Chains A and B, each alone.
Chain A
């Protein structure tokens, strides 16, 4: 079946602009995660969704970052007033169960470049 998809694959924006990144999880996966990967770095947790609610937003770096999930499926990560330090690859992952011991399947990521 189809895996996790993300769009756009690449996004170049100017400092100060807002951007929206989209994630389509695997059908039937109740848990959805956003991570950020900076160049040559590990993956940094941003936010976790269980269904449409976000019980863990602890990784969002500032109030410029927000995310929502509708219909227990698609999720959108929004970055307002982008800064150069926001440049990174944003990865989405989904898993079948909301409990921790379930494989997370990653999307291909969105490479964000803030000029």
Chain B
């Protein structure tokens, strides 16, 4: 099955700096890679996702890049703000058929702290 590794486990930055979180996956059939943000005590919420037919996607201060050959994808947050502080999870899933439709395999999470 799929295995997703996420690094770093904690990340501390100053307000205005950039933050980068990296994930690797093992299943070459994976083709959908969402990123979720989870604030303390709250539910995970999707912030951006990317499909395997594109290499990069951007939404304001957030961008995700995907390298299918190397099987890794990254989240980039620019001009970080204190409200970006949260736990970020990457995930991967395959639409390759069988019984694994939609099953997300998550990374272990990155605790991002943005200091004012």
Residues of A in contact with B (beta carbons under 8 Å apart) = 31, 33, 35, 41-45, 48, 50, 55-56, 58-59, 91, 95, 98-109
Q: Are A43 and B95 in contact (CB under 8 A)?
A: no
**Taking the nearest CB of chain A, how far is it from the CB of B94, in angstroms?**
6
B18 within 8 A of partner (CB):
no
Closest to B108 in A: A42
B26 within 8 A of partner (CB):
no
Task: Give every chain A residue within 8 A of B1 (Cβ-Cβ).
Answer: 58
Q: How far is the CA of A31 from the CA of B1 in the complex (A)?
A: 20
Task: Give every chain B residue within 8 A of A50 (Cβ-Cβ).
Answer: 101
Residues of B in contact with A (beta carbons under 8 Å apart) = 1, 6, 31-32, 34, 36, 42-46, 49, 51, 89, 91, 93-95, 99-109
Task: Give every chain B residue within 8 A of A42 (Cβ-Cβ).
Answer: 6, 89, 106-109
> 20 A-B pairs, CB-CB below 8 angstroms?
A33-B102, A33-B104, A42-B6, A43-B44, A43-B106, A55-B99, A55-B101, A58-B99, A91-B44, A98-B101, A99-B101, A100-B93, A101-B31, A101-B51, A101-B93, A101-B95, A103-B49, A104-B34, A105-B46, A107-B43
Closest to A54 in B: B99
Q: How far is the CA of A102 from the CA of B31 in the complex (A)?
A: 12
Closest to A102 in B: B102
Q: Are B102 and A43 in contact (CB under 8 A)?
A: no
Task: Give every chain B residue within 8 A of A102 (Cβ-Cβ).
Answer: 102
Q: How far is the CA of A43 from the CA of B46 in the complex (A)?
A: 14
Q: How far is the CA of A10 from the CA of B42 in the complex (A)?
A: 13
Q: A33-B102, A48-B103, A58-B99 are in contact. List 18 more A-B contacts (CB 8 A).
A: A41-B109, A42-B107, A43-B104, A43-B106, A45-B104, A45-B106, A50-B101, A55-B99, A56-B103, A99-B95, A100-B102, A101-B31, A101-B51, A101-B95, A102-B102, A103-B34, A103-B46, A106-B45
**Taking the nearest CB of chain B, how far is it from the CB of A51, in angstroms?**
12
Task: Give every chain B residue within 8 A of A104 (Cβ-Cβ).
Answer: 34, 46, 102, 104
Closest to B2 in A: A45
Q: Could you say which of A43, A48, A55, A101 contacts B89, with CB atoms under 8 Å apart?
A: A43
